[in-house]
Amino acid sequence: MGNTLARTVLRLASPVLIGAGGAAWYVITEQLKAQKIGVHPDSPNLKGRPVAGPVTAFAQAAVIEKHALNMGGGRTFAEISEEWMEATAAGDTERAAELAGTRETVMQANFLRASLFTSVLAYGVSALTMGIGVLSWATASATHRK
């Protein structure tokens, strides 16, 4: 591929990449806003702010983790599930029933955290895409011969 063709491809790709990254960022933000989630007051930072970006999503995920660990008595979902399975296998229905509610609540918290972390990751991919678009434009400009 000649220099002229390479420059043309890079210059055409640049606005497409920047636009795609920006559009993805916008869609992720609108989807988060639609959920009407606010950063919990227990958050050391950003308390009360709407979850509408990567930083607030991460802050809310951290609060959910703190609450899930508290509900689980400091145990993770895997640890509670293991205890629940052991109690079930041993026929200790009382203990299994006692653990079932906590297990369910902590599992839901993990699902919420995973969803928030997915949005944080999507923001990162959007930013990367926009950055590659800017880099392709800069590369095209740097290879321009007079």
Q: What pLDDT is attached to residue 145?
A: 63
Residue for token digits 């933000």? 29
Every domain of the chain and the residues it spans: 3-142
| Beta-strand runs (E) in the chain | none
pLDDT, one tens digit for every residue, the chain (146 residues): 578 888 899 999 999 999 999 999 999 999 999 999 999 999 988 999 999 999 999 999 999 999 999 999 999 999 999 999 999 999 999 999 999 999 999 999 999 999 999 999 999 999 999 999 999 999 998 887 65
CA distance 84 to 30: 39
Separation in Å, CA 73 to CA 20, 102, 106: 44, 9, 11
Q: What pLDDT is attached to residue 146?
A: 54
What is the pTM assigned to this prediction?
0.83
Q: What pLDDT is attached to residue 142?
A: 87
Q: What pLDDT is attached to residue 1?
A: 59
